Structures are given as C-alpha cells and as structure tokens.
Amino acid sequence: MKKVLFALVCLAAALSLTGCLDFLSKASEVDLEAKVIKFSKEVQRGDYQLVSTEELKKMMEADKNLLVVDTMPYEASYKKNHIPGAVQFLFPIPDMNEWDAKETDGKSVEDFKALLGEDLNRPIVFYCGFVKCTRSHNGAAWARKLGYTNVYRQPGGITSWIEAKYTVDSIK
C-alpha cells in the first residue's frame, strides 16, 4: 500500500514537472497536495495500475494482444480523435459504483465483458480526455471488479497523446 501511494506521488510530481499536470502547477502547495491525494485515493479505490503516455506507446508497439479503451463519448470525442486501434466504451465522469446503463450509452455489464474478452489476464488500458477526467477511472475500476487482472489507466488521456505528437485516428 505504501509503495502504491509513493509511486502515485512520484508520478504526479513527474507529470507536473513535464507539464502534464499544468493545471496543478498553478495551484498552491496545499491545493496541489489535495489534488494528488485525491488522485492517489481514486487509483487505490480502483485497484488498477497507471501507465504514462510513453509507456502506453511502447506497450502498443510490443504487445499485439493489448486492448486500449477510449472512455469518452463517441460523437463528441472518439469520432474526432482517438488513439490508433482503441475501441470506444462510454463511462461517466462521476464515480460509477453501481452499473447504470443510462451512463454507458445503454450498454450492459455483459456488453462491457464482451468488449474486454474472455482472457482475464489480457492487458487492458483505459484513457479519457486528460488527467482531471475520471471516465478512465470508472472503466478501469469496473474491469477490475469483473476480475480482469492486468488493468491500466493512462491518466493523461488523448490530450497527452496529442501533446506527445503521436498519431491519432478519426472516423470520417
């Protein structure tokens, strides 16, 4: 538990130094501390791992079995820009402690399981728009609840992917 918390604090510090958490760097230390702790607790609650944008790119190049899930709205986001090869499954921004099909475009838990597949050890990465967005938290947390073991969240989302100058796909 202490290792996870330490790793999250280090990640947040590293992201703020690289500008990925620019909205945090303009805050006071008290505000920054509160945001880092909130993020850390979110990750602990979800029981998933974190992966940076660069690490995700390397994972995609190395593992053809990797599933990348965009948790943003289809029309407003995924259709315009998404990580190449990513599939889309909408999750809400507020914590989704109970499955609510209204919040997932009418999709059920069974639809989500079908998307993720039968291999509970398959590496799965969830992302959304940016660090403050929590759609990817909900996706990753639900994958863990369903027994998937190799679950990651890429907190910088499509924004950090684009800032890293990696290519994106869109649907015309």
Secondary-structure breakdown of the chain: helix, strand, coil percentages, each rounded to the nearest 5: 50, 10, 40
CATH architecture, domain 48-172: 3-Layer(aba) Sandwich (3.40)
Q: Look at residue 1 and tell me whether its pLDDT is greater than 90.
A: no
Q: Look at residue 134 and tell me whether its pLDDT is greater than 80.
A: yes
Which residues on adjacent β-strands are paired with residue 151?
124
Residues of the chain with pLDDT > 70, as a percent, come to 85
Beta-carbon contacts of residue 170 (< 8 Å; ≥ 6 apart): 79, 80, 81, 82
pLDDT bucket at 57, cuts 50 / 70 / 90? very high
Beta-carbon contacts of residue 166 (< 8 Å; ≥ 6 apart): 53, 57, 83
Beta-carbon contacts of residue 169 (< 8 Å; ≥ 6 apart): 81, 82, 83, 84, 85, 86
For residue 53, give Cα distances in angstroms to 9, 60, 126, 138, 159: 17, 11, 11, 19, 10
Q: Specify the pLDDT at position 63.
A: 86
Domain boundaries, the chain: 1-46, 48-172
Q: Look at residue 2 and tell me whether its pLDDT is greater than 90.
A: no
- Give 90-107 pLDDT, tens digit per residue: 999 999 999 999 999 999
Contact 67, 119 (CB under 8 A): no
pLDDT bucket at 17, cuts 50 / 70 / 90? very low
Q: Look at residue 24 and tell me whether its pLDDT is greater than 50.
A: no
Backbone φ and ψ of 151, nearest 5° = -105, 135
- The number of residues making up the chain comes to 172
pTM: predicted TM-score of the whole model, two decimal places: 0.83
- Residue whose pair of structure tokens reads 């593992």 in the numeric block: 63
pLDDT bucket at 50, cuts 50 / 70 / 90? very high
pLDDT bucket at 138, cuts 50 / 70 / 90? very high
Q: Specify the pLDDT at position 172.
A: 86
